[in-house]
Amino acid sequence: MKKSLSTFLKGVIICLIASGFNACSDRPQANSTTNAMDQRVDSLLSLMTLDEKIGQTIMYNGTWEFTGPTSGGNRWKAEKIINGQVGAMLNVLTADEIRRTQALAVDSSRLGIPMLFAYDVIHGYKTMLPVPLAQAASWDTEVARLGSEVAAREASAAGLHWTFAPMIDISRDARWGRIMESPGEDPFLGAAMAKAWVEGYQGDDLSSLTTIAACAKHFAGYGFAEAGRDYNTVEVSMHTLYNVILPPFKAASDAGVATFMNGFNDLNGIPATGNEFLQRTILKDKWAYDGMMVSDWGSIPEMIFHGYAMDTAQAAAIAMKAGSDMDMEGRVYEKGLKAKITSGEVSEELLDDAVRRVLRLKYKLGLFDDPYRYSDSEREKEELLSKENLEAARDAARKSMVLLKNETNILPLKKEIKSIAVIGQLAASKDIPLGSWRAQAVPNSAISLVEGIKSAVSANTKVEFAKGYTLTVGNRSFGKELTIVEDDKTGFKEAIELAKRSDVVVMAMGEDCYQSGEGRSQMDVGLKGSQIDLFNELKKVNDNIVVVLMTGRPVAIPDLATDANALLETWFAGSESGNAIADVLFGDYNPSGKLPVSFPHHSGQEPLYYSQKSTGRPINRAENVFWTHYTDGPNDALFPFGYGLSYASFTYEDLKVTGSGESINIKVDVTNTGSVGGEEVVQLYIQDVAASLTRPIKELKGFQKIFFEADERKTIKFTLTKDDLSFINDHGEKVFEPGDFRISVGSNSRDLNTKAITIN
């Protein structure tokens, strides 16, 4: 990497000043002590004017993508950078462009402090991994860790320092479009995924050239938007906040996540962005988090719309006091903060604390050593879409798929089968499987289902495609409303003819990827358009229908659950989608995914989750209507949390729960009674039978994903402590309450073996 002379000299000067004229190493200061870092940061801070300090708390958008309202034109932005008034930018892309933009800050601003360059690298940069909800469906933390590692390798090679991921908002509402970005409905699984994602992005050294800073978002409660409508009000109890929403964030903080992002939502009347309780009391004080908090895009001025701030200046004061260290595209810190500080309404110490957090991150990334260290266009060319990255994407995709039904063992299909009808717009799409929030994925670059099947089957197998239904047309893109085709049956005839003459039908059904994502909430989570109508027609002429579902959320598919012969949820599986699906369909990979979210019978059941409270009327004792239920449908999920089949089959026997409060030992014998080897996710749930706060009927407290040979029997062991049986009360204290507990182990949250135990 080349450094210009002026850059180099300025770097040396800053380094000398900031280090108090100690020796400046040529390597990023990864091994320096925290003290040395803090001293350097403090020395630099002492050189800064008030304007320059405020500058470090400001993030501007680049020119390439706009993810929210922004004022146009960019020349003035360059001037701001040169004046030392910008600390970070998002959406500036490519190693070269980042180098050019960075040079404005480093070569031309008074102190030459490098900027941070950030981007939403959500499930890959160029190589698309499966969407986050799918990764969670693997119940395999290594899938999540490696997925983020691949994303970080590519993003860092493209010059980026920081991703706005992982999104670890627990969500229990399939209507919410961003459930696709989440780890699903459960805090325990969510925390495991959060940790793995952070470790994947950041590795164990932020200054490494292949890692980037991660961002735990959205702190907090965003996934609990009322009625699943994005950006909507959030009202949750303190115990739901502590026991359900916060655990993944705590796990991310414990894993050393470099940054947090607050959210658009208000939480119990206070916008997350202006929420001192969340950002200071819990995060920065209680959890002693020393990283940086960035606002969501424009969420600081949005406090005016929330009716929580009167004007820009007040919004700036509220956000800074509450602990929002950086203003993403809100233009509020630049307009309003200085006056609030000079008037004394906001103390300069708070600003100093925010600036220290920003500078520490720059230091940890090695940017004070070499601000251009990530901008290496040669590495960029080699890394993006490398063979290794694509292989990782394929493996992650197949491990994320969930087999929901496999009647009469129709799957796996034989590669020598004579004819396969592949039907449905989604089957030929090379774009939809890339998912939304797809960073720099090349449009139409995924392996389609048709392509995947064609490359998997024998030379003698006839694979024919018919589009059948049209789901979406026209302007399918990020940020635009989608045109869904409600009733197009022009392709039915061709598809029915094809189904008639084929041995098996593989029908792709589901959603366009832009039906989920930010601003993509839906009232109805059934399948759109004429897909089900076509399925019903095909069923009349062929009784071997394998449905491949592509969705970014749980969908209500009671008809398919009854009538499809096999049902495979593949989510939006990424660049290698078609190959990975074919791996599962033809048995090259035995499916092992389990649902991280409950699938409903009907949208009206949402929010739906396994970890419900019992209520005072859980069962119908008198055979009347006075118990908790719907009069027009079931309470239970169509497919419950944790559910997923394999080509192997597993039995659970001889559950033993022994021990005292210090250590409860759980043992169960699991046998693969099938004829092929396969993986099973053995799941452990507890119920605190009576407590000072009503507790859920089941809570996941452990899982192990284990491979079993055919006929193999293993004793699986778990250990629980009082800590695992505790919960957090409304005062934020972790409490263990002695008494009766139920301990359950099984293959999913519904089919469980249970034993009672009393712990004092």
Selection from 608, 755, 611 nearest residue 696 by Cα? 611
Q: Which pair of tokens denotes residue 731?
A: 């005062």
User: Residue 24 or 225: which CB sits closer to ligand NOJ?
Assistant: 225
User: Residue 21 or 64: which CB sits closer to ligand NOJ?
Assistant: 64
Q: How far is the CB of 129 from ligand NOJ (least distance, A)?
A: 17
Q: How far is the CB of 221 from ligand NOJ (least distance, A)?
A: 13
* Active-site pick, 296, 327, 563, 688: 296
- DSSP annotation of 129 reads P
Task: Tell me the three-class secondary structure of 496-523, residue by residue.
Answer: HHHHHCCCEEEEEEECCHHHCCCCCCCC
Tell me the residue type at 666.
I
Residues comprising the chain, all counted: 760
Tell me the residue type at 127.
T
8 A C-beta contact, residue 296 and residue 218: yes
User: What would the DSSP string read from start to end of 250-282?
Assistant: HHHHHTT-SEEEE-SSEETTEEGGG-HIIIIII
User: Residue 165 or 534: which CB sits closer to ligand NOJ?
Assistant: 165
User: Residue 214 or 759: which CB sits closer to ligand NOJ?
Assistant: 214
Selection from 714, 700, 581 nearest residue 642 by Cα? 700
Residue with tokens 């706060």: 693
User: Residue 297 or 368: which CB sits closer to ligand NOJ?
Assistant: 297
Selection from 291, 289, 314 nearest residue 301 by Cα? 314
* Catalytic residue check, 120: no
Q: How far is the CB of 652 from ligand NOJ (least distance, A)?
A: 40
Selection from 209, 543, 226 nearest residue 382 by Cα? 209
User: What would the DSSP string read from start to end of 550-607?
Assistant: E-SS----HHHHHH-SEEEE--S--TTHHHHHHHHHTTSS------SSPBPSSGGG-S
Could you give the CA distance from residue 66 to residue 74 in angstroms, rounded to a whole number? 13
The H-or-E segment that residue 678 falls in is strand 678-688
Could you give the CA distance from residue 79 to residue 74 in angstroms, rounded to a whole number? 9
Selection from 294, 327, 292, 293 nearest residue 312 by Cα? 327
Q: Kindly give the interhelix angle for 348-364 and 34-47, rounded to the nearest 10 degrees.
A: 130
Q: Is 494 exposed, middle or buried (0-12, 13-18, 19+ CB in 10 A)?
A: middle
The H-or-E segment that residue 18 falls in is helix 5-18
Could you give the CA distance from residue 728 to residue 722 in angstroms, rounded to a whole number? 13
User: What would the DSSP string read from start to end of 161-229?
Assistant: -EE---B------TTSGGGGGS--S-HHHHHHHHHHHHHHHHTT-TTSTT--B-EEEEETTGGG-GGG-
Selection from 468, 467, 466, 464 nearest residue 534 by Cα? 468
8 A C-beta contact, residue 90 and residue 59: yes
Q: How far is the CB of 216 from ligand NOJ (least distance, A)?
A: 11
Could you give the CA distance from residue 423 to residue 413 in angstroms, rounded to a whole number? 16
Q: How far is the CB of 120 from ligand NOJ (least distance, A)?
A: 5
Could you give the CA distance from residue 107 to residue 109 in angstroms, rounded to a whole number? 6
Residue with nearest beta carbon to ligand NOJ: 164
User: Residue 380 or 518: which CB sits closer to ligand NOJ?
Assistant: 518
β-pairing verdict for 727-728 and 678-688: unpaired
8 A C-beta contact, residue 135 and residue 193: yes
Binding site for ligand NOJ (CB under 6 A): 67, 120, 164, 217, 296-297, 518
- Residues designated as active site: 296
